[in-house]
Chains A and B, each alone.
Chain A
């Protein structure tokens, strides 16, 4: 299991979700990814994206105008046919 970081600061939704989606596609099940965003919309959108696509939200936090979402990659990759 590896832990990765993704910086989506300054991007507006849905770009943080798109970047998260693209990054998760490169990761293995069980890997963790911490996404940093400044758009508060990410607080809802990234967890919603995780629920839909079978990934686990480990932690969500908010501090000094930034949103942090930690994700654990789920067992199947979303783009597998």
Chain B
């Protein structure tokens, strides 16, 4: 009797990796999923934070995919290890701060370590030649296989027939003829296949599953690095970049202004780590201060907080400053006018 072969599928939560795993499941291979959490994944966070999104489905797409497929899913925290990928990408960045090629090499390498530790035979990804401009090109896909150390244990079921046969195909663990030959950026074949399998309501990230492909987010990350002595970061740093309005009125300080109740609640979780401002006389934002403020800076920060409160048209607004040592002081300030919020302050 042939040995039951086992594959680990990289599951992003999007359609392609779901289809790739399904194709291999249908060939009788035991498939389990693996999902890597870098800290930059676009998932339920923003939904969880913003009050206006409260009604949206707060599901983790990778878990949802695994459940649809009936497979186990292992979610791996790679936040610390990922820093080196982001800070020193050997193959550079894409359009923004996205180190897509290094990222894919890193994830396949981690999957390779996992299969070695857990007695699995090969790795599946949902990659398609030409689908993504950096990591999914005919010339970069062999780079991923080689530099990850997976080599021919890396199978891309959606485009396998456009690539040389891998170990699972050569050994007959999977039938090459049953695999696909997709290429290019079109999503139509994947959508048709999804319909054929009866998959509906799947996420459509298509590169949007990572905050590093987002221009605004990347700008905030670069700003953070430029105003620090090193490019190191914590999970809290990169979470805070996803929340609030970020203003840098001067090089030595930045304000994070909550835009609504949900964000204020989230930011209030950081009260012990940041000097912060609250508006006392009106409904208003919670404002975290990143940096050291002079008395003049503090007044400016209070006027900004007042500007984003419901007292923006009032002559005076009462703002309370909460220092890290627990002390407080109140300032009565005139809210800044809209045109006084310089465009250059917006991070």
Contacts and interface: CB of A to CB of B under 8 A. Distances in A.
Interface string A26-54: 00000000000011110111001101110
A62 interface: no
B119 A48 contact: no
Given A12-B48, A12-B239, A79-B118, A52 B72 contact: yes
A45 B269 contact: no
B67 A81 contact: no
Contacts of A53: 72-73
Contacts of A17: 60, 63, 75
A48 B64 contact: yes
16 contacts: A12-B48, A14-B37, A14-B63, A18-B37, A21-B75, A38-B269, A39-B48, A40-B48, A41-B44, A41-B47, A41-B59, A44-B57, A45-B58, A45-B63, A51-B67, A52-B73
A48 B76 CA distance: 16
B222 to A, nearest CB: 23
A49 B47 CA distance: 19
Q: Looking at chain B, what size class is its interface with the partner chain?
A: 20 to 34
B43 interface: yes
A10 interface: yes
Interface in B9-25: none
Contacts of B77: 15, 18
B180 to A, nearest CB: 26
Interface of B is mostly: mixed
Interface of B: 35, 37, 41, 43-45, 47-49, 54, 57-60, 62-64, 66-67, 71-77, 118-120, 239, 265, 269
Given A18-B77, A49-B63, A52-B63, A43 B58 contact: yes
A41 B239 contact: no
Contacts of B54: 40
B75 A18 contact: yes
A15 B44 CA distance: 11
Contacts of B74: 21, 78-79
Nearest to B60: A45
A48 B60 contact: yes
Given A52-B63, A79-B118, 8 more contacts: A14-B62, A15-B37, A15-B77, A17-B60, A17-B63, A44-B57, A48-B59, A51-B67
A14 B60 contact: yes
B109 to A, nearest CB: 19
A45 to B, nearest CB: 5
Nearest to A51: B67
A58 B174 CA distance: 40
State the 8 A-B residue pairs at the shortest beta-carbon distance, nearest first: A41-B44, A81-B119, A41-B58, A81-B118, A48-B63, A13-B44, A12-B45, A39-B48
Contacts of A78: 72, 74
Contacts of B66: 52
Contact of A52 (B58, B67, B265): B67
Contact of A13 (B48, B57, B73): B48
A60 to B, nearest CB: 14
Contacts of B269: 10, 38
Contacts of B62: 14
A40 B56 CA distance: 11
Contact of A12 (B44, B72, B73, B119): B44
Contact of B43 (A14, A52, A65): A14
A17 B44 CA distance: 12
A41 B60 contact: yes
Contact of B44 (A18, A45, A49, A79): A45
B311 to A, nearest CB: 27
